[in-house]
Structure 1
């Protein structure tokens, strides 16, 4: 099969011919990957940012946002069958540890993360576990939802954690409404009555945010913190969701957060530098967000089936994977997600 593999950090991956995956255990499922999301994390992997954390042996196949068609199943699989359209939770989990039994499978003690620490789905086929599979509603196609497997799941997970902190009179600020943020915005609009302000450096993205239900926008032109404070009566927002997490948004996000409020970090790449006395005196919370649980993904697919969360996509063939990665790196996928189709 064809697969996009990293051979050396700091150098572009290559499109290789490698053996097809095969069923190895009773809970295994082989999925024909009809659609694979291209994520900024893939760029960070290629750069080498994940080398120490993942410990993966090179070369390996990247791609952690996958949806497709069940091709073959292990002997103990009874909940899906060949031909089923599915989306894959990005983690392959054990189901036996305390975290899994508590429904917190994202912190499984014995998990694999295809595309991060083992072969992923920028390929024609992928081996996963039945525990990772969510069947798609008949009205959903793999290419329409693939990037929701990680980007959408992460956005939903952060919003779900923020919802209990919000009341109808509260203000939420979102930094970044592009590929990741536009999903988070739709989740916010669907799940909370609070007023949402979107901050972005692109006027085109801000216009799209208004169309998706944002109540107000702020152009990131150097005065974004002052504009947000003006909108919030000088207090800042109860919740700030930072879908960028680098290039200065970290400092902006903390400055936009009201006293006793919460700054949610979703995008990454930068550094948060906050004096501890400010954390204490302002009593602010800094909240990290990894990917969501299996149940989060199932809930997100329900919102997608209801038409309340839609993914803006720019599609490429698997053969054009390197172009898609380069376009993402060059900012040529505005306001949506790049998707590889096969």
Structure 2
């Protein structure tokens, strides 16, 4: 009987989607309890249960198509009572299809959560935490405000300048020297304003932009700013410096906080190290004149995930994604910056 087939279809759909919901709940629990990246991967294999991570929505789509068919007669004969009743029935069927359709949001949310957990564990990132070398921790708001005041690159927005995300970690070079590092994402907002015929200013739109970078603490080099852009630095980097290498001068702009000290610092070997660091990247590299800190900031998204897995519809694909993904920009920056600091 057709009614039995419909009932069976609903039963199969509900059963399949219940499996997905159970898997989602289990993934949330695994992400919260895994103490390291390998433990997270081990929790995904063996799964010992159905591995589906895709909702069954074929029936909902079919219902939607049927509802659409019932809507059509009213466009042909709008005054016909049967067409009007068909229209109402079509709306009911489409509403039923809409409420029956399972959105992918729960799956995407748990995958995003596991990605963030994996990033933190795989790259030893402590999100929203200050570096360990700070003996007296600041309030987080004051801490971020203090760092922004140290470098003039955090004033690019006319409306807003915020560090929206940060994470502390420790990088070790090949000589086992540890460097306290803090990654960050900087978001700034500019507005475009125009004057009307009466001379009054009106905001046309806001432009939102993001930059990413790192602070590195306990650095000996001080009082230098290097940039791949043509912008001019001001206090405390008031003194421009030029290399004898024409190509480097075209590629990089140098500014120092003390004219004599900058001349001593900029040896040919040091300039070549700077050129190598900026060989494949854009941005600004600043060494504070007094605090032993450097700040690199640029357009390369340090938190962007690169993965070989494009579609995740089961636990096996999810495990493969979490096992093989990389933060390529972060790895490249870490390699080049540690090489520069040697």
- TM-score normalised according to structure 1 size: 0.25
Q: Relative contact order (alpha carbons < 8 A, sep ≥ 6): 1 or 2 greater? A: 1
**Higher Rg of the two aligned structures:** 2
Q: Which has the higher strand share?
A: 1
Q: Which has the higher helix share?
A: 2
